[in-house]
Amino acid sequence: MNRDRLHFLLLNIGHFLDHLFMLTFATVAALALYREWGISYAELLAYATPGFFAFGVFSLPAGWLADKWSRDGMMCVFFIGIGITAIATGFAQTPLQIGAGLFIIGVFAAIYHPVGLAIVTTKWRNTGMRIATNGVWGNLGVACAALITGYMIDNGGWRMAFILPGIFSIGMGLAYMALRWKSVHAERNAANAATREVEVKASSSYRALLIRVSAIIFLTTAVSSVIFQATTFALPKIFDERLQGLAAQLIHWTDRMAVAGQGDMATMIGSLAFIVFAVASIAQLVVGSMLDRFGPRVVFMVVAAIQLIFFSAMPGLTDGIAFAVALGFMLGAFGQIPINDYMIGKTASGAYRARIYGVRYVVSFSVLAVSLPFIAFVYQNWGFDTLFRILAGAAVVILVAVTILPRRLPTPETAPVAAE
């Protein structure tokens, strides 16, 4: 494997770990801690909320530091910092301690999206497929958070779900440092030169189009984040409530087939969530290919329509049918992820790209944090059926907003110069 491919692989592993660490607690809370610590699932969600706020708020300073100092240097900080913090979180003894650990994990996790995506969209061509491939790795992190944590709960304890990936992340950070450390100073000089370039004065019509596209990007980012958080964070709990019959049948079948390690409910629920997340992540590859061919407007409308259909169908369903419909709405939820990143990559100036991604993820992850108490409130008062109806309404908002996207995105290269 050449250095270029290894670099892309390490960036993809970083995206995997980023989402793995942020969602490990979702399965821990749903399947273990509410029993071990005697705290309700809704109450436990409060301790994850500050971590998701940090995940969003610290994206902007992370992007600023990356543009001013070094994107590769910030990636080394990400890998090693989040690994050390995850190990420490695995030793938490109280809800307050685990909440503090999750907050610091969120601070380091905030580095990845503005920095990693800025590297991906700046360094390589075929932007749609690169973002999609990177997104699949992130979604596999979401999926493996449920799978690994479920397995650890049954076989080693929930603490290992933080400690072992933490050790792995530190190792990946050292590998990234060995591969890219020489580029840090060269990259800093190039970034400083880029920011000194003369800016093009665009025409008023171009600026108006750019403002329109930016408004749609940030609106759909906010609404999409509610959908993403509700589906990824709550899915283990949804399956724990609705797929007990299916899980019991599968446990019985695997026991008869003498498959070791599949006889426990937490492992089976985690496995079912992993299957849905892993299969749904393929949607990003399809979407990435379509973005490069057709542009974001049509693709976004199709993805929003898929979400609307399957969220509307989910209330009241259980077991096999619920599993199939959950796969459908996760295809839509994961399929939407590359679209806004693609639009930013096309419209943003390269010298400021990490900062603009930082703003995008401040919006996205701040909404993720706000969504947690919202999900807890809806679940505690009305249950998941009401949540699905709310998410169907969110899909309608996205569908309407996307209809006013232009067919061709404004880009720095095509900006018309205003007359002096």
Dist. CA 237–CA 212, nearest whole Å: 38
Q: Sorting pLDDT into bands at 50, 70 and 90, what band is 350? A: low
Asked, for residue 16, whether it belongs to a domain, the answer is: yes
Asked, for residue 128, whether it belongs to a domain, the answer is: yes
Asked, for residue 25, whether it belongs to a domain, the answer is: yes
Q: Where are the alpha helices (DSSP H) in 29-94?
A: 34-36, 41-57, 59-68, 71-89
pLDDT of 101-132, one tens digit each? 999 999 999 999 889 988 887 776 667 788 88
What is the average per-residue pLDDT within 170-180?
Answer: 93
What is the average per-residue pLDDT within 32-51?
Answer: 82
Q: Cβ distance 85 to 51 under 8 Å? A: no
Asked, for residue 51, whether it belongs to a domain, the answer is: yes
Dist. CA 85–CA 99, nearest whole Å: 12
Average pLDDT along the chain: 82
- Pick 205 or 326 by higher pLDDT: 326
Residue 72 CA neighbour count, 13 Å, CB half:
22
Asked, for residue 198, whether it belongs to a domain, the answer is: no
DSSP class per residue in 216-248? HHHHHHHHHHHHHHHHHHHHHHHHHHH-HHHHH
Contacts of 293 (CB under 8 A, 6+ apart): none
Residue with token string 């992850």: 365
Asked, for residue 225, whether it belongs to a domain, the answer is: yes
Instruction: Express as a percent the part of the chain with pLDDT over 70.
Output: 86
Asked, for residue 419, whether it belongs to a domain, the answer is: no
Q: The domain spanning residue 155 has which CATH number?
A: 1.20.1250.20
Q: Where are the alpha helices (DSSP H) in 156-182?
A: 160-180
What is the average per-residue pLDDT within 308-328?
Answer: 93
Dist. CA 143–CA 279, nearest whole Å: 9
Asked, for residue 197, whether it belongs to a domain, the answer is: no
pLDDT at 141: 87
Whole-structure pTM value? 0.71
What is the average per-residue pLDDT within 153-167?
Answer: 89
> Which residue range(s) make up the domain with 15?
3-192+203-414
Contacts of 274 (CB under 8 A, 6+ apart): 143, 144, 146, 147
pLDDT of 329-346, one tens digit each? 999 998 888 888 888 777
Q: Is the pLDDT of residue 262 over 50?
A: no
Q: Is the pLDDT of residue 269 over 90?
A: no
Structurally, how many domains does the chain consist of? 1
